[in-house]
Structure 1
Amino acid sequence: MKVEWLYEKHDKGVRCLVCERKCLIDEGKRGLCKNYANLKGRLVHVGYGKLSALESRPIEIKPFFHYYPNSTALTFSGFGCNFYCPWCQNYHLSFSDIPEWIREISPEELLTLALRNKDQGLCASFNEPATLYTYLLDVFELGKEKGLYCCLVTNSYFTTKALRNLIESGASGFSIDIKGCPEMKVLGTVDHKKVFRNAKEAITLGAHVEMVYLVVPNANDFEECYRWIFSMHLKMLGEEVPLHINRYYPMNYWKEPPTPVEKLLKLKEIAQQEYNLRYVYVGNIGSVEHETTYCPKCGKKLIIRSGFRVLKWNLKDSKCPRCGEKIPIYGKFTRP
């Protein structure tokens, strides 16, 4: 356990300021994500270093398509979440309490393993990284010192202070899930505007952002919702920030059939043609065509991907070799 200083004292407890849930926690109790507790009037990170998974994985699987292409990251996760999506594919981690028997893995141990595996980076994923916030600050600081990139797969519901602290500690990549829109009934009080606020703030602070829209039938797939997502993406983030439109499959409590591929392709067409988004990908359908990066100016195939790896790299100095168009790529390409 470790004291987390991002909190406020109140007469009725302490208010956690790690994420926008801002849980008011009574003495001896934990917040919604189950990782932060009020112990004697202090906010303590009881989930510090308590990891549920740990493995090297391709960066493209996150998904990151414009961030350190073809590299691998030592990927790790904790327990619990601050959203509890009913379709969560990692619900066995996100909906779980922290096991009492699990031992803490120190930031130094994690870094040693990444270097031994010859990973190029570190990535907090699988469950929501906000549950590991205090731990991430220490891990990313060590990783940055050793020249490793540091990234997150997140719902990005951090407070702005927590987000800035993460970036200052070394976080440079954010794969952000946009769950829905203001009209969406599922997930209750989540303010989806704050997700875009944080994505914009991360870009302003020099980090790389890619947005992921999992299209869930009868949850966030209606027209008002996807048009809100596309318009907010263009307005807040700009046309060059990648957008991944991904297919949902039945999981956890949500038993709707998989998202029709035809709908995903139609949404890609709308995002590109009506909202001028330049890098739109369709994931979870196993399509090389829809995971390939094309030059938005001349249409040349620039980065061909399959199986979460880069098959062909046609960029020259991050530019299209045919027309010279600059393609936004953060970090270097790792050759096979």
Structure 2
Amino acid sequence: MKVLSDLKTVVKSRFYSKLRGGKVRCELCERRCRIPPGEYGYCKTRVNIDGELFTVVYGYLSALESRPIEVKPFFHYHPGSTALTFSTWSCNFDCPWCQNHGLSKTAPKLEVAKFTPPKTVVEIALRNGDDGLCASFQEPTLLTDYNLEVFKLGSKVGLYSCYVSNGYMTEKVLTSLKEAGMDGLKIDVKGDPETYLKYCGGIDVYKVWKNAEKAKTMGFHVEIVNLIVTGVNDDEACLRFIVENHIKRLGVDTPIHFTRYYPAFKFSNPPTPVDKLVEAYQIAKKAGIKFPYIGNVLGHPLEDTYCPNCGKRLIKRFGFKVVDYKVTDDGKCPYCREEIPIRT
């Protein structure tokens, strides 16, 4: 293992504890893998080298590009801005319909790994004219040791930082990200407990909701996304489970997006009918959520932001572009002065 530890992308992790017999417990995500010497954890990005836990993807980037923040989707977080978005490889979930499976279902290939220094990411963002940084595409929790350094550097030059995540990180990771300057968290909620157990590799959905709630209380801007997969999580009971937990844990002011699935990876089920997205929107709206949205439906009016008090349209979007923005500088509806929770 000595050759492996000499690679620039192989760095000792901050998130683990030592166990007997040279084993370690990874404390990056709630799987909390117990890893024997010489073995990898579930996600294939953490390895036990002589009783110490190392990340093998420190600065090993699979993608790096400027993207509108609305792509994530974030609709109430720096609207109209762009974020330099980056990722590594692999995932800690097993979703068979993954829309980014080319990255999330590929294990790191250390023989071809190239190291990108944290400062380089920040320099590229500034050169591109980006407003922030976003770890996305695959599960960013797996890149956290690296992201902490990137975000610290970014915050010093005025860049915001955010995650597009499945929400299964440990509280220790969440706290470290907050301390590094990250303040935006979009969490994908896959469905009800049965959905997670059957399709995502035995994940506990209540730990996802717990993290969302904890992030909100810590001061993160949180938005929830539910990709509605045909025949998987599109029944009314599942949708109501999501809406009820959203209200209970995050409140009615937190945005929720119901987005359209398209066949990908191992799944060939037909695309989500738009009527099903509208049904989910209506369930959320009738339950009291002030800012429900549908997504992946180009030009649909339910991708726009409306005042929950007077009903006037405040933000018009087309695709991932903001084409009209009427929220006042002090975060209010210009027509009735209702407060609109948007972080800028």
TM (norm. structure 1) is 0.96
Q: Given the alignment, which residue of 12, 34, 45 partners 2:44?
A: 34
Q: Given the alignment, which residue of 92, 102, 113 partners 1:102?
A: 113
Unaligned runs of 5+ in 2: 1-9
Deviation of the 1:161 alpha carbon: 1.0
TM (norm. structure 2) is 0.94
The answer to which of 188-197 and 107-116 deviates more is 188-197
Unaligned runs of 5+ in 1: 332-336
The answer to whether the Cα contact below 8 Å between 1:3 and 1:45 also exists between their aligned partners in 2 is yes
Residue 327 of structure 2 is aligned to residue 307 of structure 1: no
Deviation of the 1:30 alpha carbon: 1.1
The answer to whether the Cα contact below 8 Å between 1:150 and 1:170 also exists between their aligned partners in 2 is yes
Deviation of the 1:196 alpha carbon: 1.2
The answer to whether the Cα contact below 8 Å between 2:99 and 2:265 also exists between their aligned partners in 1 is yes
Amino acid at match of 2:12: V
Indicate the percent of aligned positions where both proteins have the same amino acid.
50
The answer to whether the Cα contact below 8 Å between 1:150 and 1:172 also exists between their aligned partners in 2 is yes
Separation in 1, partners of 2:231, 2:321 = 32
Partner residue of 1:171?
182
Q: Given the alignment, which residue of 159, 171, 177 partners 2:170?
A: 159
Determine helix, strand or coil for the equivalent of 1:75.
strand
Determine helix, strand or coil for the equivalent of 2:199.
coil
Separation in 2, partners of 1:183, 1:27 = 34
Amino acid at match of 1:134: D
Deviation digits for residues 264-301 of structure 1 (CA, Å, limit 9, x no counterpart): 1011111101x100001100111341111000000011
Residue 342 of structure 2 is aligned to residue 329 of structure 1: yes
CA RMSD between the two structures: 1.0
Residue 132 of structure 2 is aligned to residue 121 of structure 1: yes
Structure 1's consecutive aligned runs of 4 or more residues displaced over 4 angstroms after TM superposition are none
Deviation of the 1:10 alpha carbon: 1.4
Deviation of the 1:208 alpha carbon: 0.2
Residue 94 of structure 2 is aligned to residue 81 of structure 1: no
**Mapping 1:1-336, distance limit 5 Å:** 1-12=10-21, 13-99=23-109, 100-184=111-195, 185-273=198-286, 275-316=287-328, 317-331=330-344
The answer to whether the Cα contact below 8 Å between 1:75 and 1:122 also exists between their aligned partners in 2 is yes
Determine helix, strand or coil for the equivalent of 1:171.
coil
The answer to which of 227-236 and 189-198 deviates more is 189-198
Amino acid at match of 1:156: G
The answer to which of 182-191 and 84-93 deviates more is 182-191
Deviation of the 1:244 alpha carbon: 0.3
The answer to whether the Cα contact below 8 Å between 1:295 and 1:301 also exists between their aligned partners in 2 is yes
The answer to whether the Cα contact below 8 Å between 2:14 and 2:145 also exists between their aligned partners in 1 is no
Q: Which has the higher helix share?
A: 2
Q: Aligned pairs, how many?
A: 330
Separation in 2, partners of 1:262, 1:85 = 24
The answer to whether the Cα contact below 8 Å between 2:96 and 2:267 also exists between their aligned partners in 1 is yes
Deviation digits for residues 25-82 of structure 1 (CA, Å, limit 9, x no counterpart): 1111111111111011111011111000000000001100000010000000000000
